[in-house]
Amino acid sequence: MQTNGRLRILLPDGNLNKALSLVSIRKYITDVFCYNEIGHEKPTRNFYNFIFNKLSLAPYEIVLIGDDLEKDFRGALQNGVCGILFDPDDKYAGAGPRINDLLEIHKVIDDLAHRVMNIER
């Protein structure tokens, strides 16, 4: 999930990319992909295969942050990618991992990184 101190996070929507820039988080994220650029919509396997090939990463090495429970969160999980649900309106209280504010991203990523490190030991 981390390369040279920067996270490799998949953001499936260009609007989220703009929002991250506004809250000064974008500088920590190396890659942003939008289905318009890829030519395939999420959660299709082709969407994810494009990203796996482009980044030369395995699915478990990628984190997707999105605001759609089905297409982003569950779609990521179904394709072997870690999903984080961006839920500012608290519509999906039972889903997780989940954030309500973009500033919470680092906390969730840190938690996920610790879990992965513990699994690899």
In this structure, what are the phi and psi dihedrals at residue 116, rounded to the nearest 5 degrees? -65, -45
The answer to whether the CB of 74 falls within 8 A of the CB of 43 is yes
Residue 33 pLDDT:
79
Residue 5 pLDDT:
47
The DSSP code sequence of the chain is -EETTEE-EE---HHHHHHHHHTT-GGGB-----HHHHSS-TTSHHHHHHHHHHHT--GGG-EEEES-IIIIIIHHHHTT-EEEEE-TT---TT-SSEESSGGGHHHHHHHHHHHHHHHH-
- Domain spans, the chain: 2-120
Look-up of token digits 């998949």: 10
Give 98-108 pLDDT, tens digit per residue.
Answer: 888 877 877 77
Is 97 a residue whose pLDDT tops 70? yes
Residue 11 pLDDT:
58
- With a CB cutoff of 8 Å and minimum separation 6, the contacts of 59 are 48, 52, 79, 80, 81
CATH of 2-120, one of 3.40.50.2000, 3.30.450.20, 3.10.20.520, 3.40.50.1000: 3.40.50.1000
Residue 94 pLDDT:
85
User: pLDDT confidence of 77, banded at 50, 70, 90?
Assistant: very high
Residue 2 pLDDT:
44
User: pLDDT confidence of 116, banded at 50, 70, 90?
Assistant: low
Give 15-71 pLDDT, tens digit per residue.
Answer: 666 666 655 666 666 777 777 778 898 899 999 999 999 889 889 888 888 889 999
